[in-house]
Structure 1
Amino acid sequence: MSNLNSSLPLAGVRVLDLSRVLAGPWCATVLGDLGAEVIKIEHPQRGDDTRDWGLRVGSTQTSYFNSANRNKRSVTVDLQTAEGQQIVRDLAKQSDVVIQNFKFGGVEKMGLGYEQLKQVREDLIYCSISGYDRTGPEATRPGYDLVVQGEAGLMALNGEASQPPLKFGVAAVDLFTGMYSAQAILAALFERQRTRKGRHIEMALFDCGLMITSYYGLEALMKGEDPLRFGNAHPSIVPYGVFNAEDGPLVITVGNNGQYERFCREVIERPDLVDDERFRTNIGRAENRATLLPEIDRELGRRKRQDLLERLRGAGIPCGEVLGVHEALTSKRATDAGLVSTHDHPECGSASVLAPPYRLDGVRPPVRRAPPQLGEGTADVLNTLLGLSDERIAQLKAAGVV
């Protein structure tokens, strides 16, 4: 394991993860995937909130927790005790990065804010994740993914025009915030090599949620109103979206006039739809989509999905099946790419986690550490890094500090 870790870009970097739930833990997992040593601080009895969310995996893990906590050690510390706060200060002194997402002002009350920990390590990179701008009037508001999806306009982008606003299927704001936070931390680590100085990085869920609106957001600013919602269709390219074959859904993306001609002649065998003046250009097809799409739907609905996919690929038109989550994770494509990692589990025999989504020099970094049992690394970390004896650790455990 040590040889593997030393070959990764963040080998030698230590991250102290004080965060809970998703955005912060996701950020720390990204850093762990890249080789950082991640120490996750959790409450001795409760642990991370997500140890009680999703499907149970043994006595202290769940599917939700495991999704965001691979490549970490779990150290249990009661941060409401003076002894626990001192343990974290001592660990911060030996860490390069601290990540926290406590409610505004909460971490400072424990003596673990940036300015306080900066006193024990001047070049510390400290990332604070909150719901809203920490310098604004909503600084004290807690942040929740679903709330921010609504406030940032993201729910207004999803679904069909005839339906109410719709949230993403996953906690997209949390996930994006975790990724943006990891990017900022990587930039600060790079800068520190030159300046030998740390940084206080401040991230807000609302800020990151607004970024996800991307080109739709700019379109709304230009028009002075919300863009139309098209569900699985494209607002300006036709035919482009999810369609139903006789035996299941598929994605078809006809991106230009040449593809459209091949689609009509070679895939659905309707040359009349090419010759029709209304459909010769993409602009015309978009303007007349209400007339064109029923004709296309009718032709696709009487053909088998596999036959359509073969025809579409033969015509050079991007396409694919619409799979369920389980189908996608167990597909040959995912298996061949090594995107699901199975590891031994002391209570369940085995359990699966997703592998890092990138390759380094052609090799996908494996999951070096399975998601940790609650407190599995407490004794080892406190002994190895802080030099606490077994007797002292036992005393702290008896007092409920660890």
Structure 2
Amino acid sequence: MSLFASQLPLSGVRVLDLSRVFAGPWCGMVLGDFGAEVVKIEHPVRGDDTRDWSIRIGQTESAYYNSVNRNKRSVTVDLQTPEGQQIVRDLAQHCDVVLHNFKFGGLDKLGLGFEDIRKVKSDIIYCSISGYDRTGKEAKRPGYDLVVQGEAGLMALNGEATQAPLKFGMAVVDMFTGMYSAQAILAALFERQNTKQGRHIEMALFDCGLMITSYCGLEAMVMNEDPPRYGNAHPSIVPYGVFETADGPVVITVGNNAQFHRFCKEVIDREDLANDARFTTNLDRRTHRDILVPEILKELKARPRQMLLQKLTAAGIPCGEVLGLLEALNSDRVKAGGLVTQQSHPVAGSTPVLSSPYRFDGERMPVRLPPPVLGEGTEDILKEWLDLPSERIRELKTKGVI
């Protein structure tokens, strides 16, 4: 059955997204991609901070904002007002999930903490995203991706050995935290089917950032020292990384000894390297990388990239071009996969929006809703969910509550 002819996996699930910037909105977007009805609560005047970041689109959106807010509705509420706080509590009664990344204790002061919401919705799945362990001494510290990249050792993994510690090109801590949070919410929703009970999920940027260190983190503990940095090369596999050719960089991943022999004989015409005892196994090649890699670079720089890619492919060695970001987004691969969509926009006419990466039964999860203009769903949601009359909505607008 076609995905579009059937219900999406989270159809019928309602999410109240009180988060802003990246980690929380990413989590809400994942749930929206799976079909949940996600209502994003924003300040009536400024909205989410990221509406003012990056490249402007229309009057109230930006490329940054749009990257984490597809498949949502926008409802504007001033949470500093008693009426606004009551609106959120009322909306929560109609939801399955409440998501936020306020500072520790911030929503409790507004009467919107877990215990407050649980009083009006006993089986709520309430997800709190903070910077640090909410049970520890740093609970009140604000969390920022860049700071955590430094504190969790991620910067120490990145870049060349001769460089200072280097941040990742993307806000990876925020992104992974959003993903981990969505996974936890899905687990809690699944559990609730049997227990009929809610959960308070507590996620921390630092915890998730540390998890990203993965095998590098474990290696550091086993060696009792920081692992060396290799830039675009692999710390354990040789040759494996980005290499310059006569006319541009190429990615070459020689993953085993058989591939190395084919690489030497069929790609760079250096059978002597394949037969050299110093390079017989990957452990040997890792030990003698300073001798081997210069020889490989010499051969690659003498050959054009396309010819090398053809030979590498014929030899069964994984490889690829190193493209610019715009070039990658405009590639035939992206177009064929439907990974970028054009969404209608009331001011800009249309705007590009990335698709969901998820495929179910051969079909990609749809972009059902473009990233919302600030407050586009306020009246509809308040009428449909809370049955507020138009006169009351006008009164709340006049007072600046919505």
TM-score interval for Structure 1 and Structure 2 normalised by the shorter chain: over 0.9
CA–CA distance in structure 1, aligned partners of residues 368 and 342 of structure 2: 11
Q: What pairs up with 1:338-377 in 2 under 5 angstroms?
A: 338-377=338-377
Q: 8 Å contact 1:5–1:11 — kept in the other structure?
A: no
Please list, as runs of the form range in 1=range in 2, the aligned pairs for 1:141-220 lying within 5 A after superposition. 141-220=141-220
> What is the one-letter code of the residue matched to 1:278?
R
* Aligned residue identity for 2:369: R
> Between Structure 1 and Structure 2, how many residues are aligned?
400
Report Cα offsets for 1:147-166 as digits up to 9, x if no partner. 00000000000001111001
State the Cα deviation string for residues 352-372 of structure 1 (Å, max 9, x = none).
111110101110011000000
Q: In structure 1, what is the equivalent of residue 107 of structure 2?
A: 107
Letter in 1 for 2:264: C
Residue 258 of structure 1 pairs with residue 258 of structure 2: yes
* Cross-structure match for 2:248: 248
2:389 equivalent to 1:389: yes
Counterpart-to-counterpart distance in 1, 2:301 and 2:392: 71
Q: For 1:82 and 1:196, how far apart are their aligned partners in 2?
A: 31
Correspondence for 1:378: 378
Instruction: Indicate if the aligned counterparts of 1:127 and 1:201 stay in contact, CA closer than 8 A.
Output: yes
What residue identity is the alignment partner of 1:299? E
Corresponding residue SS for 2:115? helix
Looking at structure 2, the residues matched to 277 and 144 of structure 1 have their Cα atoms a distance apart, in angstroms, of 49
Q: Is the 8 A contact 1:6 1:35 kept in 2?
A: no
Q: Distance in 2 between matches of 1:99 and 1:400?
A: 24
Establish whether residue 94 from structure 1 lines up as the match of residue 91 from structure 2: no
Q: Distance in 2 between matches of 1:364 and 1:88?
A: 33
User: Take 1:120 and 1:85, find their aligned partners in 2: how far apart are those partners?
Assistant: 13
Letter aligned with residue 65 of structure 2? F
**Cα distance per residue 1:246-271 (max 9 Å; x no partner):** 11111001111111111111101111
- In structure 1, the partner of 2:308 is 308
Q: Distance in 2 between matches of 1:375 and 1:236?
A: 51
Paired residues of 1:28 and 1:38 also in contact (CA < 8 A) = yes
SS in 1 for 2:359: coil
CA distance in 2, matches of 1:32, 1:85: 24
Give 2:74's aligned residue: 74
Alignment partners' CA distance in 2, 1:380 and 1:109: 28
Deviates more, 1:282-291 or 1:41-50: 282-291
Closer, same or farther: CA 87–5 of 1 in aligned 2, 3 Å: farther
SS of 1:107's partner is helix
The one-character-per-residue Cα deviations of 1:329-350 (angstroms, maximum 9, x if unpaired) are 1111111111111111111111
Partner residue, 2:117: 117
Greater shift in the superposed pair: 244-253 or 4-13: 4-13
Structure 1 position 4, deviation (Å): 4.3
1:328, 1:19 → 2: CA distance?
30
Stretch of structure 1 that moved more, 215-224 or 192-201: 215-224
Partner of 1:64: 64
Shift of 1:5: 8.7
In the aligned structure 2, how far is the partner of 1:285 from the partner of 1:220? Answer: 21
In structure 2, how many angstroms separate the alpha carbons of the residues matched to 1:62 and 1:355? 17
C-alpha offsets along residues 146-196 of structure 1, whole Å, 9 cap, x if unaligned?
000000000000001111001110000000000000000000000000000
Residue 278 of structure 2 is matched in structure 1 by 278
- Secondary structure of the residue that 1:138 maps to in structure 2? coil
Aligned to 1:226: 226
Report the CA distance between 1:77 and its aligned residue: 0.2
**d(CA) in 1 for partners of 2:269 and 2:225?**
40
| 1:57 to partner: Cα distance | 0.5
Pair 1:337 & 2:318 matched: no
Residue 292 of structure 1 corresponds to 292
Which sits farther off after the overlay, 279-288 or 84-93?
Answer: 279-288
Letter in 2 for 1:164: A
Kept after mapping to 2: 8 A contact 1:6/1:12: no
Q: Is residue 320 of structure 1 aligned with residue 320 of structure 2? A: yes
Aligned to 2:22: 22
Q: Partners of 1:302 and 1:345 in 2: how far apart?
A: 49
Q: Which whole-Å CA distance do the structure 2 matches of 1:231 and 1:374 have between them?
A: 41
Q: Over aligned residues, Cα RMSD in angstroms?
A: 1.0
Unaligned runs of 5+ in 1: none
Give the partner amino acid of 1:247: D
State how far apart, in whole Å, the 1-side matches of 2:102 and 2:247 are. 49
Percent identity of equivalent pairs:
69
Q: Which amino acid aligns with 2:197?
A: K
Q: Is the Cα–Cα contact under 8 Å of residues 155 and 167 in structure 1 kept in the other structure? A: yes
**CA deviation digits over 1:21-65, x for unaligned, max 9?**
000000000000000000000000010000001100011000000
Distance 1:215 1:180, change over 3 A: same
Matched position secondary structure for 1:118: helix
Name the SS of the counterpart of 1:139 in structure 2: coil
Q: Distance in 1 between matches of 2:256 and 2:130?
A: 43
Report the Cα offset of residue 275 of structure 1: 2.0
Describe the shift of the 1:53–1:388 C-alpha distance in structure 2 as closer, same or farther (beyond 3 A).
same
Provide the C-alpha distance between the structure 1 equivalents of 2:364 and 2:328, rounded to a whole number of angstroms. 19
How many Å apart are 1:6 and its aligned residue?
5.7
